[in-house]
């Protein structure tokens, strides 16, 4: 982003964004998701050994994703993107498709996408949409046991982190970062955004995460369907501010 680039908005979301749509939040602390140990179904070192359990688990997640609708928080983010074309970047730790269903574009899924499959043999990634995976194998190389959900497992590289770090590294005081619905357990949103050059807002259900919440420029606590719409006025002011040409 050069000095003449107008103010940008970054929205960084976690499970709290989708909670009000009925998708259970990822409970990092308990190590359970829908009462299933994450170490069984979300571990790159063991997933091939747990092949059937892994696919049964993500089939259920994919079926659940088929029946849920985006909520007002997702729609608010989509509204910001429409209002400021090309100036709002949406990053999410969520693997659900609710941001896209609300109308968001170019969403960066930092931890993958539950509606896609990934072949670890040939690296192909493809959409299967909602419903159970038919286990027909990789469309390119034909292998079956090398196909996993395109969700980033523990111990697996997350290529989209490069995009995240490039965006964080480019943040300027004129930019705004909204962090919504995350405990900061997997990705430290305080270190990424709270301590960044940007004006940062933390929008969580309640205080008390392990993050340094005081590092954010502002905090807004409550359900995301209430906190995000209430931020629109502030964001409007920030997006309208004049860019300082520091090279003159």
The residues carrying an active-site annotation are 111
138 binds Zn ion (CB under 5 A): yes
> Nearest distance from residue 119's CB to Zn ion, in Å?
3
Of 18-26, 73-81, 133-141, 218-226, which part binds Zn ion (CB under 5 A)? 133-141
> Nearest distance from residue 58's CB to Zn ion, in Å?
18
Would you say 146 or 185 has its CB closer to Zn ion?
146
> Nearest distance from residue 124's CB to Zn ion, in Å?
5
- CA distances, 113 to each of 62, 99, 125, 165, 192 (Å): 10, 12, 10, 20, 22
Would you say 138 or 205 has its CB closer to Zn ion?
138
Cβ contacts of residue 56 below 8 Å, gap of 6+? none
Would you say 48 or 162 has its CB closer to Zn ion?
48
Which of 1, 36, 68, 141 lies at the binding interface for Zn ion (CB under 5 A)?
Answer: 141
Of 45-53, 61-69, 119-127, 192-200, which part binds Zn ion (CB under 5 A)? 119-127
120 binds Zn ion (CB under 5 A): no
Helix, strand, coil percentages for the chain (3-state, nearest 5):
30, 20, 50
121 binds Zn ion (CB under 5 A): yes
Exposure pattern of 204-236 as b/e (b: 16+ CB <10 Å)?
bbeeebebebeebeebbeebbbebbeebeeebe
> Nearest distance from residue 57's CB to Zn ion, in Å?
21
Would you say 26 or 58 has its CB closer to Zn ion?
58
- Confirm if 202 and 213 have CB atoms less than 8 A apart: yes
Which of 11, 115, 119, 152 lies at the binding interface for Zn ion (CB under 5 A)?
Answer: 119
Would you say 120 or 163 has its CB closer to Zn ion?
120
- Confirm if 188 and 211 have CB atoms less than 8 A apart: yes
> Nearest distance from residue 125's CB to Zn ion, in Å?
10
Other beta carbons within 10 angstroms of residue 54's beta carbon come to: 21
- Confirm if 166 and 194 have CB atoms less than 8 A apart: no
Q: Is the dihedral of CA 159, 67, 64, 221 positive or negative?
A: positive
Distance, CA of 12 to CA of 9 (rounded, Å): 10
Of 16-24, 57-65, 136-144, 160-168, which part binds Zn ion (CB under 5 A)? 136-144
Which of 122, 210, 218, 240 lies at the binding interface for Zn ion (CB under 5 A)?
Answer: 122
Token readout for 123 is: 């690296």
What residue ranges bind Zn ion (CB under 5 A)?
Answer: 119, 121-122, 124, 138, 140-141
């Amino acid at each position: 982003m050069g000095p003449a680039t107008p103010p940008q908005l970054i929205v960084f979301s976690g499970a709290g964004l989708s909670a009000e749509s009925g998708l259970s939040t990822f409970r990092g602390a308990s190590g359970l998701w829908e009462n299933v140990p994450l170490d069984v179904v979300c571990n790159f070192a063991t997933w091939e050994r747990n092949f059937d359990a892994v696919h049964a688990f993500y089939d259920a997640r994919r079926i659940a994703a088929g029946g849920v609708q985006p909520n007002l928080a997702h729609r608010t983010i989509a509204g910001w993107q429409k209002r400021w074309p090309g100036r709002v970047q949406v990053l999410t730790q969520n693997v659900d498709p609710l941001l896209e269903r609300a109308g968001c574009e170019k969403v960066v899924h930092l931890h993958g996408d539950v509606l896609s499959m990934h072949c670890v043999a040939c690296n192909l990634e493809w959409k299967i949409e909602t419903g159970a995976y038919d286990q027909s194998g990789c469309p390119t190389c034909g292998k079956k046991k090398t196909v996993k959900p395109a969700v980033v497992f523990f111990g697996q590289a997350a290529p989209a982190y490069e995009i995240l770090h490039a965006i964080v590294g480019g943040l300027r005081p004129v930019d705004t970062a909204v962090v919504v619905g995350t405990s900061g357990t997997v990705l430290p949103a305080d270190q990424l955004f709270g301590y960044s050059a940007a004006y940062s807002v933390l929008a969580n259900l309640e205080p008390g995460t392990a993050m340094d919440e005081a590092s954010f420029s502002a905090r807004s606590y409550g359900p995301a369907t209430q906190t995000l719409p209430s931020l629109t006025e502030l964001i409007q002011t920030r997006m309208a501010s004049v860019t300082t040409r520091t090279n003159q």
